[in-house]
Every structure is written in C-alpha cells, then in structure tokens.
C-alpha cells in the first residue's frame, strides 16, 4: 500500500513540475515572441504594451491570445489536479480567471476601430478597464502564489536543506521584484506615473519574466532538490 502511495506521489510530483516548467517557459517567452513577430515579421512599430499585440492580431499575429490561452489552461489544470493546498488551488484559479479575461478583452489601442470589442463585445473603454483590472488581479495572484506557496515546506526552517533555503530566498527576491513592478503598473493605471519609454511593456515583461523564472526553479529546472 505504501509503495502504491509512493508511486502516485512521485507521478503527481512529476506532473506538477512539468506544469510549472510550462508556466515558466510560456511566461518568459510571451514578451519576446510578441515583440519579434510584431516588429520583425510584420514591420510594425515597437509595442506600447504586450497587450497591444492582441489588438492587431488579425493583421499581425495571434501569438498573445495563444500564449495567454495556454497560460490560463496550465494554471487551471494545475489548480484542479496538482495543487497541494487550498491556497495553492485558489491562487492558481484566480490566475486562470485573470489571464483568461485579459485574453478575452483587449486594451485601448490606436489599431482598434470598432466601438464594441472582444469576446464579450464590450465598449472599448469598458473593455480596457476589464483588461487592466484582470491583468492586475492575475499578476497579483501570481505574485502571492510565488511568495507564499513556493516558500512552503513540510519541514521546519532548521531542518530544510541548504538548496531549499536558497530557493526560498530567490522566490522572495523574485516576488518582491514583482510587487515593485506591479506597484509601478498600478501607479501608471491611476495616472500618477509617466515615462519616455513604453512603461507598460517593460512592467509586463518584468512581471512575466520574474514569475517565469520562479516557476522554472519550483519546477526543478534550476537548483533541483529532493525537498520541494
């Protein structure tokens, strides 16, 4: 009986690590892919935000909707089948809902000429609000997921392996950087921050990259250890 439970736990752990690696790779690749396809394949200007690539998807590239769809599905499947505690499940479900709404409703863009837009057919201004709020919620859930759930351990701090302690420090650093990026994003949305560069693109890129690296570490791509 114990052997069977051990096999099930090993298989479950393998799937969890696979899901985390997929989430990590997708997160890291979203910004470079959308930028490359938009600028170098279709010869369009530098994106003001990653989201802007979705507003020109019919003319340029469907990369962002596909990537966000994959990110949402991996978050959902992780939450349903692989989450190891209630908070883990809740935060990944929120990520799923947030990233799905981001993909469904587009942000404000000069490329949009229709009054009603997106899967829900909302007016442009309302669509932008839904898109922006959903992005903040999704990124916020991802940040808490990394800071809280990734740092969890079944062992007390004095019995954790040096590798686990190092990984926890990295999760804290990456999560803190995500909070700082999210704070800048919130200031921009509130109209309290402006810059001479595409600040939204930079913030989105940083959030996705920090989150992606944390997922790759948690998935065992780097600093692999017997203790999760």
Residue 227 lies in a domain: no
- According to the model, what pLDDT value does residue 171 have? 95
- According to the model, what pLDDT value does residue 89 have? 92
Cβ count near 152 (within 10 Å): 12
Report the pLDDT averaged over residues 118-124.
84
Residue 223 lies in a domain: no
Which tokens in the block code for residue 200? 């939204």
Number of folded domains in the chain?
A: 1
Residue 173 lies in a domain: yes
pLDDT score of 59 more than 60: no
Residue 228 lies in a domain: no
Residue 61 lies in a domain: yes
Residue 38 lies in a domain: yes
Residue 67 lies in a domain: yes
pLDDT score of 57 more than 60: no
Residue 226 lies in a domain: no
pTM for the whole structure = 0.88
- According to the model, what pLDDT value does residue 209 have? 96
**Which residues have CB under 8 Å from 27's CB, separation 6+?**
71, 208, 209, 211, 212, 215
Average predicted confidence (pLDDT) for the chain: 84
Looking at the chain, the whole-number percentage of residues with pLDDT higher than 90 is: 31
pLDDT score of 191 more than 90: no
Between helices 162-189 and 199-218, what is the axis angle to 10°?
160
The residue length of the chain stands at 228
State the residue range of the domain holding 106.
2-150+157-218
Outline where the chain has alpha helix (H).
2-36, 52-55, 63-77, 86-104, 124-144, 162-189, 199-218
Angle at CA 204, nearest 5°, toward 149 and 135?
65
Structure confidence by residue, pLDDT tens digits, 83-114: 888 999 999 999 999 999 988 888 877 777 77
What does the alpha-carbon distance between residue 74 and residue 92 come to, in Å, rounded to a whole number?
9
Report the pLDDT averaged over residues 2-20.
73
3-class SS of residue 156: coil
Supply the DSSP symbol for 62: -
Burial category of 131 from C-beta neighbours within 10 Å (exposed 0-12, middle 13-18, buried 19 and up) = buried
């Amino acid at each position: 009986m114990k052997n069977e439970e051990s096999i099930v736990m090993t298989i479950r752990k393998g799937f969890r690590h696979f899901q985390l690696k997929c989430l990590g790779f997708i997160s890291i690749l979203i910004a470079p892919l959308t930028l490359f396809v938009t600028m170098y394949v279709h010869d369009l200007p530098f994106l003001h935000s990653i989201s802007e690539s979705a507003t020109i998807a019919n003319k340029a590239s469907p990369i962002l909707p596909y990537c966000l769809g994959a990110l949402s599905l991996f978050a959902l499947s992780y939450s349903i089948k692989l989450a190891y505690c209630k908070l883990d499940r809740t935060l990944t479900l929120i990520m799923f809902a947030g990233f799905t709404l981001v993909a469904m409703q587009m942000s404000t863009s000069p490329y949009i000429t229709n009054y009603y837009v997106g899967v829900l057919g909302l007016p442009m201004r309302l669509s932008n609000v839904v898109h922006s709020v959903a992005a903040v919620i999704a990124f916020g859930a991802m940040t808490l997921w990394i800071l809280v759930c990734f740092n969890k351990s079944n062992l007390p701090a004095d019995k954790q392996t040096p590798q686990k302690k190092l990984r926890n420090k990295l999760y804290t650093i990456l999560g803190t950087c995500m909070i700082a990026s999210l704070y800048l994003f919130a200031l921009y949305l509130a109209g309290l921050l402006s810059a001479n560069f595409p600040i939204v693109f930079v913030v989105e890129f940083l959030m996705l990259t920090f989150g992606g690296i944390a997922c790759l570490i948690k998935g065992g791509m780097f600093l692999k250890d017997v203790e999760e």
